[in-house]
Amino acid sequence: MSRAFVTGLRGTALSADERAFLADAAPWGLILFRRNVESPDQVRRLTGDFRDALGWKAPVLIDQEGGRVQRLTAPHWRTYPSGRQLAGAAAVAGDLELIEDVARLIGDDLAAVGIDVDCAPCLDIATPGMTPAIGDRSYGERPDRVAAAGRAFANGLTAAGVLPVIKHVPGHGRARVDSHHELPVVDADLDSLAATDFAPFAALADLPAAMTAHLVYTAIDADRPATQSPIVIERIIRDRIGFDGLLFSDDLSMNALKGTLAERARATLAAGCDIALHCSGDMGEMVAVAAEAPELVGKAAARAERALKGRAGSPHDDADGVLARLDAALAAFDVAGV
């Protein structure tokens, strides 16, 4: 039986110690980064070897949003625009279906090498002064437009047989510092948060998976980041937003969280995250996280099972046409200067 964590790996192929770890620790899934990627054939081997080590078609995750956040890159894969560029270009061109079609091509790229979960779309609302760590990953400032773009992107991934993971719930757009390095603190009142930051997540609450934000909302829980706050997870994500899908933490290795990796994992799972995400590929950290991750049972297991039912799709039948539309829309967007 799988345990309630996702792990990273050190390099482009499974080492003997990693293979032994996977067989013993039984993580629910694997997440890949650029350090794990060289070529399509190599990624296929890595995802296949990972699943062979576990003995089932375990999920393989990646962050492939477009723009600055894409782990599969040139020369072997297409490069895609950022969320802000894609949403803006689609709006200027009057071709809102473009977002779904581009996301389907991204999903096709992933499915072709054995990756079946994309940690996207990013539903964080753009705000003045927000951290560049979000920046142009956001689809924009208006909750309704962010929700519409996110829905289209998620639909495209799903059509390709790739599970979308909406992030960073309940909203990361007000952060002024990068949670990779320090803990953001948001002082907005609850009504303002509900009207803006929470709104895209509420609009897409029917989707099967989401990822938490490592930041403190002082109006909700001034003592703990959302990832480790039972108050945020139960009262806001589960109740107010209405999300009942599979809930991943953001990466436990990020410096927004304090304590040892074991302490971080324990607090994250105790707060109500279904899956603890650990990305570094450091074996000592992997062992510490695994020791805190229980078997995936109960509601968390049911959510995971529901989420994985979406891993069936087919390639887009007109990729060249989509890319031509994308190029034309991006050119119009550049001319418009918006």
Is 108 annotated in the active site? no
* CB-based contact 119:62 (threshold 8 Å): yes
Kindly write down the DSSP assignment for every residue of 19-54, as one continuous string: HHHHHHH-EEEEEE-GGG-S-HHHHHHHHHHHHHHH
Cβ distance 146 to 84 under 8 Å? no
180 is known as an active-site residue: yes
- Contact (Cβ atoms closer than 8 angstroms) between residue 88 and residue 96: no
Contact 170, 141 (CB under 8 A): no
Residue pair 245/207 in contact by the 8 Å Cβ criterion: yes
CA distance 37 to 32: 8
Q: Distance (Å, rounded) from C-alpha 326 to C-alpha 314?
A: 20
Alpha helices in 188-318, H assignment, sequence order? 190-195, 199-203, 230-231, 261-271, 283-292, 298-308
Q: Return the number of other C-beta atoms located less than 10 Å from residue 20's C-beta.
A: 12
- Catalytic residue from among 116, 136, 221, 250: 250
Q: Between 261-271 and 283-292, two packed helices, what is the crossing angle to 10 degrees?
A: 30
| Amino acid identity at 74 | A
Q: d(Cα 160, Cα 251) in Å, to the nearest integer? A: 25
Q: Which residues contact 242 (CB under 8 A, 6 or more apart)?
A: 202, 205
CB 121 within 8 A of CB 64: no
Of these residues, 95, 178, 180, 244, which one is catalytic?
A: 180
Residues with catalytic roles: 180, 250
